[in-house]
Structure 1
Amino acid sequence: MNLKRTFGAILTILGIIGLIYAAFIFAGSTANQSMRTAIIYGVLGIIFFISGIGLVKRTKDEA
């Protein structure tokens, strides 16, 4: 079991969830506060997603 790959997968899943939640907030937003919340969740989702994918790609597969 490779701990770095597992952590990368968890970060990737959290990033996807954050991006989906940001899109859900953005689709139903009418006020400025909701837009700000959607941007925050979107940025955090992108950061988690990119870091998770990068961690999975850089980690060597050892048997």
Structure 2
Amino acid sequence: MNLKRTFGTVLTVLGIIGLIWTGVEVINHKGDATTLIVVGVISVLFFSTGISLVRNTKDEA
């Protein structure tokens, strides 16, 4: 497996975890608003970057 594809997978998983955590905190009305916004934005960036890396990396054996 390619290193870029592996890194993209890790970023995607971290983004998904961050988005789920942010969603749970918003639903439960816990946490500070600025913290939730920052974590949500970083999670979206991780998720989109990870998906982009996985999609655009070619498998060369």
TM over 0.5: yes
Deviating beyond 2 angstroms after TM superposition, the runs of 4 or more aligned structure 1 residues are none
Aligned-partner Cα distance in 2 for 1:28–1:40: 17
Instruction: Give me the TM-score of the superposition, normalised by structure 2.
Output: 0.89
Identity of aligned residues (%): 52
TM-score by length of 1: 0.87
Instruction: Name stretches of at least 5 consecutive residues in structure 1 with no aligned partner.
Output: none
Q: Aligned partners of 1:38 and 1:25: how far apart in 2?
A: 8
**Runs (5+) with no aligned partner, structure 2:** none
1:12 Cα deviation after fit: 0.2
Q: Measure the CA separation in 1 of the matches of 2:34 and 2:23.
A: 12
